[in-house]
A and B are shown apart, each in its own frame.
Chain A
């Protein structure tokens, strides 16, 4: 299971921070990447990036300058930071286990609203 947590409201220009807690499996498995996907209200899915347990990261080029994904294997958690947010970053944020060509497990999602 994957579970997102973090603030549901972030002010413009500040940093969005979310954590995904992984249970029922090892975040240190070499078979998986762990990543983030978002979905603005009423719109489609946008992949943000993923991290390997070793710390290697890969980001969507359109967000790369503002995104950091990190992992804490001791807590079975990985995290997302997105800085300098605007209203366009308002979305449901999902964490997901990336396995091969697909994302086979998803968190339930958490809505983050950017507003003053």
Chain B
């Protein structure tokens, strides 16, 4: 089973700053099967990025994803107040199973 480890656990930044969130897999995965989600308090998760670098429908271009192999990154270029939330990475493997990382909380500094 592939384990996804996200870092940092909590990231404290100010609006307007750049956020860089990391997701590391315990073994190499296809970038085609790596996704990122945003979850605001009391809401369902929202798909941000699929295939490691493709923005989902309606996602602002300040969100970008990159990476390959075992290391993947979600970058938010300029933080807006509504971006402070919890972010999860997720992979879909050859075993036809989805696995989530433990999440990174992005909080206002």
Contact surface of A with B, Cβ cutoff 8 Å: 35, 37, 44-47, 50, 58, 60-61, 94, 98, 100-104, 106-109
Contact = CB atoms under 8 A, between A and B. Distances in A.
A101 B45 contact: no
Q: Chain B interface: which size bin?
A: 20 to 34
A94 B44 contact: yes
Chain A interface SS verdict (over half): strand
B88 A60 contact: no
Contacts of B1: 61
Given A58-B97, A102-B37, 6 more contacts: A44-B88, A50-B98, A98-B98, A101-B92, A102-B92, A104-B47
Interface string B79-109: 0000000001011100011111111000000
A46 B98 CA distance: 9
